[in-house]
Amino acid sequence: MAGLYIHIPLCTQRCSYCDFFSTTLLNKRVELIDALCKEMKMRAHYLPVDGNVLETIYIGGGTPSLLSSSEINILIDCALDSFPHVDTGKMEITMEANPNDLSDSNLKELSGTAINRLSIGCQSFNDTTLKIINRRHNAEEAKNAIANARKYGFNNISIDLIYGLPSQTIDSWKDDVATAIALKPNHISAYCLELHEGSLLTKKISKGELTEMDEADCLTCFKHLREATSASGYEHYEISNFAQKGFRSRHNSSYWHDIPYIGIGPAAHSYDGVSRQWNVSHLPKYLKAISENRLDTEIETLSVTEKYNDYILTALRTSDGIDFQYISNKFGTRFSDLAKEVAAKQQKDGNVEIIGEKCHLTEKGIFISDSIFTEFIVVEE
């Protein structure tokens, strides 16, 4: 199996927490769609041949919901045309959407495309908080968007939430979670705020204009989220992801299970099982390269150690965890022996649980997972 990611780096305004590559150069849109299609043709033979056929397409951003349904159709048709894929009915085709782009008319149009999964960027259901993070929708619009999407036949809906934001409290977060669950999305991605260098929020916090939620409160929010979602039948299957049965994100899961993927568009990353590569994070440079029939991309070929490290920091994010047998087969016993040794020590500290050949993070371990990954990974001198 394999996945395709298409990056639409366009936004009408920037959210204050975001450090993803995007631009407000909306006038480049026609050129962009052409270039994306052309890149798909150029990468038509990117995937290794042995059975790697597309099962998922993910249109992310940026703000893909700024695109018209005909533009979306062009992209999806081109993708299906360029790459081997399973039967379209069996594919998961996701698009990220802003709540206020999901009006009746837009949804009607969207329902005519091949998109069968919507990932809606609600972030919060608190208007004060939404304003602080510079979202262009309000809580009411977010709630309506979900209900409307259902009305137009979308029965695989995911929503994004963020906690740890300035102005948020444990109580306001509990309200957010309750509101979210009441809307019965099939999938919830709930992210603890990360302050990225260069984001507007980081600047405001470092200037003292806004205050970050303290660590202990973030942890309380996280624990509440786990309890509440689990009580409503959601499975906590990755650090920040919760799904009703059968609704895990197939596309994102491929990132955590060492499955190849193709990334199309500026700043998009691709992985063929051996090397990773990423396109230039600059729209005009990207467009220029494609117009000259070349890819402006950097390539990193992974050593065994790096592949092992990648495996640790992705697989251990999931509730399935890492598999010592897999490590031994794929990277060698040097790595599986080390992983077992570290796992045993981490189990003593209550950070992981080992079951047979498998090992996954505990609730305690999840919130300090980066330091646990650091224990497992290997660096060459």
User: Position of tokens 């309506």?
Assistant: 144
Q: Does 5 bind another protein (CB under 8 A)?
A: yes
Q: Binding residue for another protein (CB under 8 A) from 94, 309, 342, 360?
A: 309
User: Position of tokens 């990932």?
Assistant: 119
Of residues 332 through 351, those in contact with another protein by CB under 8 A are 349, 351
Alpha-carbon separation of residue 330 from 198, 275, 307, 310, 336 (angstroms): 38, 15, 9, 13, 9
Alpha-carbon separation of residue 182 from 147, 185, 224, 358 (angstroms): 11, 8, 15, 34
Q: Does 326 bind another protein (CB under 8 A)?
A: no
Strand partners, 297: 279
User: Position of tokens 């998961």?
Assistant: 92
Residue 97 burial by Cβ neighbours in a 10 Å radius (0-12, 13-18, 19+): buried
Structure tokens at 287: 């467009």
Nearer to another protein, 109 or 272 (CB): 272
Q: Does 56 bind another protein (CB under 8 A)?
A: no
Give Cα 346 distance to the centre of its chain: 27
Q: Whole-number minimum distance, CB 322 to another protein, in Å?
A: 15
- For residue 356, the tally of other CB atoms under 10 A from its CB is 8
Binding mask 193-232 for another protein (x = CB under 8 A): xx--------------------xx-xx-------------
Q: Whole-number minimum distance, CB 235 to another protein, in Å?
A: 18
Q: Binding residue for another protein (CB under 8 A) from 91, 95, 133, 268?
A: 268
Contact 369, 321 (CB under 8 A): no
Q: Whole-number minimum distance, CB 356 to another protein, in Å?
A: 26
Can you list the alpha helix ranges (DSSP code H) found in 25-169? 29-42, 69-82, 104-111, 127-132, 139-151
Nearer to another protein, 326 or 367 (CB): 367
Q: Where does this chain touch another protein (CB under 8 A) — which range of 122-130, 134-142, 202-210, 252-260?
A: 252-260
How many residues interact with another protein (rule CB under 8 A)?
43
Q: Does 352 bind another protein (CB under 8 A)?
A: no
Q: Does 156 bind another protein (CB under 8 A)?
A: no
Distance CA 229, CA 177 (A): 8
Contact residues for another protein, defined by CB under 8 A: 5, 191-194, 215-216, 218-219, 239-240, 252, 255-256, 261, 263, 267-271, 276, 278, 300, 306, 309-310, 313-314, 317, 349, 351, 366-371, 373-374, 377-379
